Amino acid sequence: MNVTVFGTGYVGLVTGACLADVGHNVMCIDIDEAKIEGLKQGRIPIYEPGLEPMVLRNHEEGRLHFTTDAAEGVKFGALQFIAVGTPPDEDGSADLQYVLAVARTIGEHMDDYKVIIDKSTVPVGTADKVRTVVAGVLAERGTDLPFDVCSNPEFLKEGAAIEDFTKSARIVVGTDSERVRELMRECYAPYSRNHDKLMFMDVRAAELTKYAANAMLATKISFMNEIANLAERLGADVEQVRLGIGSDPRIGYHFIYPGCGYGGSCFPKDVQALARTAVQVGYEPELLNAVEAVNNRQKQVLFDKLSQAFDGDLTGRTIAVWGLSFKPNTDDMRAAPSRVLMESLWDAGARVRAFDPEAMHETIRIYGERDGLTLVEHPNEAVEGADALVVCTEWKQFRTVDFTWLKSKLKHPVLVDGRNMYDPRQVKAAGLMYYAIGRADSLKPVM
Ligand code: UDX
């Protein structure tokens, strides 16, 4: 099949590469000329495991093409995926200007039947808006070419996007057209071979499914963070509680890891956008608001714990930070807890010595060369001469630590662990104070 994908960000590039990889002919189109030029020369603008070889291979073998030419892009595919950004606007609603601009472009250049597919996360009702825009442009052109609009939300995790695309649990398609069902079946057949993963539903149900999935997962995390905060105050270890509740199949072990708050490009944005949508239709989303409020507070706990360890005065302290990305295996710093921590530390007159395996260039892009921020090439170097260590992201390479060595390097024996990575007994046995999340006993001496 010939497929066009608008947008070469995470979602667009992964979709384009994965569809090309199973034999479709894919044209990726973006308005950013430098990005498209780079892609033509094999430069991948984002870090995503497995993506680079997949893009290079399919490009070389002639199944994956890149262009900035709208007319060429629209003419190419019977399927037109819209995978451009939907950034939050000032009030947290999803900004649809890029999605609707693509709809206009498709209307301007199409000359036969098209299926227009909303892949970006868009508020319920967007497919109708896309349909109205395309129909309006066609009317201006004096034609009534046939087209359909459907919703096909993605459920890709950063760092595992290729795997999530190729081995997805389900492929949700919202449509009321049999023709679309057939074409989407054909498009996804290579990824739906062993069992039928396609789930057809109404357009609005598909649009809401995406938000509901992310909001549910975010709710689990905020719930668990609240239990962790309670556990700390009640003298319980939340890690034992996590296992205790996760063993109930009705609850499950996934997404109940307490931590320093969820970040990334999806959860914060989608929870907010769904809450905004709720208000727009006259419903007060009390739970969604609480999920967000708990998360915002949770991003402060690392700073609060440090502050507690240094009796409320962090002036002149140097804090080592391990991990800056919002989660491992990505360089993405969007809504990362590390940012809240570093900004609070700077406000309090402290300095940061940080290491991250992938996100240091992104940190420089965001903060520039600034006072109070030193980026180092090795985790051990971050600790040299620091007053305390904070772990913000659970990268694999931070799992094994020689705590005796760590104690000898830190000016003060303070380890703040935002991801509950370590065994409190081992940390304390080395003479370190261990401030973890929801582990009340982590500061008590070893028995
Ligand atoms: C998420 C969804 O998982 C994905 O389906 C959707 O398409 C986009 O949003 P992503 O943002 O890439 O994906 O990351 P994910 O691995 O889900 O983690 C999100 C955040 O939640 C991270 O900050 C992570 O640290 C945090 N998290 C996750 C927890 O704090 N505890 C958990 O138990 C799980």
Residue 193 — pLDDT band, cuts 50, 70, 90?
confident
Q: Is 410 left (phi over 0), alpha (psi -120 to 50) or beta?
A: beta
pLDDT mean over 106-118: 98
The catalytic residue among 18, 187, 266, 392 is: 266
Q: Taking residues 304-313, what's their average pLDDT?
A: 96
Mutation to probe ligand 1, out of 267, 291, 333 (largest number of atoms < 8 A from CB): 267
Atom of ligand 1 at shortest range from CA of 121? 7
What is the pLDDT averaged over residues 121-148?
Answer: 97
Please report, in range form, the residues annotated as the binding site for NAD(+): 30, 35, 86, 121, 158, 269, 334
241 half-sphere exposure, CB direction, 13 A CA radius: 22
pLDDT tens digit string along 2-25? 999 999 999 999 999 999 999 999
What is the pTM (predicted TM-score) of this model? 0.93
In this predicted structure, what is the pLDDT of residue 442? 67
Exposed e or buried b for every residue in 64-95, given b needs 16+ CB within 10 A? bbbbeebeebbbbbebbbbbbbbeeeeebbbe
150 is catalytic: no
* Residues above pLDDT 70, as percent of the chain: 98
Domains in the chain: ranges and CATH:
2-201 (3.40.50.720), 211-297 (1.10.1040.10), 299-443 (3.40.50.720)
> What integer is the mean pLDDT of 43-52?
91
Per-residue pLDDT at 102: 98
SS3 content of the chain, % helix, strand, coil (to 5): 45, 15, 40
Q: How would residue 447 be classed by pLDDT, with cut points 50, 70 and 90?
A: very low
Angle subtended at Cα 118 by Cα 115 and Cα 120, rounded to the nearest 5 degrees: 150
CA–centroid distance, 14 to ligand 1, in Å, is: 18
**Average of per-residue pLDDT across 405-426:** 97
The complex's ipTM works out to: 0.95
Over the stretch 148-165, which tens digit does the pLDDT of each residue have?
A: 999 999 999 988 999 999
In whole angstroms, give the CA distance from residue 28 to residue 342.
Answer: 37
**C-alpha 25 to ligand 1 mean position (Å):** 31
Q: What letter does residue 95 receive in the DSSP assignment? A: P
pLDDT in tens, 338-372: 999 999 999 999 999 999 999 999 999 999 999 99
Q: Residues near ligand 1 with C-beta < 6 Å? A: 154-158, 214, 217, 221, 255-257, 259, 262-264, 266-267, 326-327
Token pair in block for residue 37: 């030029």
- Residues annotated in a binding site for substrate: 155-158, 210, 255-259, 263, 327
Separation of alpha carbons 267 and 295, rounded Å: 10
Instruction: Give the DSSP letter of residue 237.
Output: B
Ligand 1 centroid – CA 26 distance (Å) = 29
Residue 401 to residue 382: CA distance in whole angstroms: 14
The annotated binding site is made up of 30, 35, 86, 121, 155-158, 210, 255-259, 263, 269, 327, 334
- Residue 28 is encoded by which pair of tokens? 């990726």
Between residues 445 and 341, the one the model is more confident about: 341
**Residues with Cβ < 8 Å from 146, sequence gap 6 or more?**
113
Of 8, 19, 80, 88, nearest to 48 by C-alpha is 8
State the alpha helices, DSSP H only, in 67-125. 70-76, 97-109
Which residues 6+ apart lie within 8 Å of 286 measured at CB?
A: none
Provide the residue type at 92 as one letter: G
The pLDDT, as a whole number, for residue 445 is 53
Ligand 1 atom showing the smallest separation from residue 336 Cα: 23
SS3 358: coil
**Average pLDDT of 66-75?**
98
Q: Residue 427 pLDDT > 90, yes or no?
A: yes
Q: What is the pLDDT of residue 257?
A: 98
pLDDT at site 444: 60
- For the stretch 213-235, pLDDT in tens is 999 999 999 999 999 999 999 99
What's the average model confidence in pLDDT over 85-92? 85
pLDDT one-digit tens code per residue, 258-291: 999 999 989 999 999 999 999 999 999 999 999 9
Over residues 63-90, mean pLDDT: 95
Distance 358 CA to ligand 1 centre (A): 18
* CA-221 nearest atom, ligand 1: 31
Which atom of ligand 1 lies nearest, measured to the CA of 261?
Answer: 30
Going from the Cα of 157 to the center of ligand 1, the distance in angstroms, rounded, reads 7
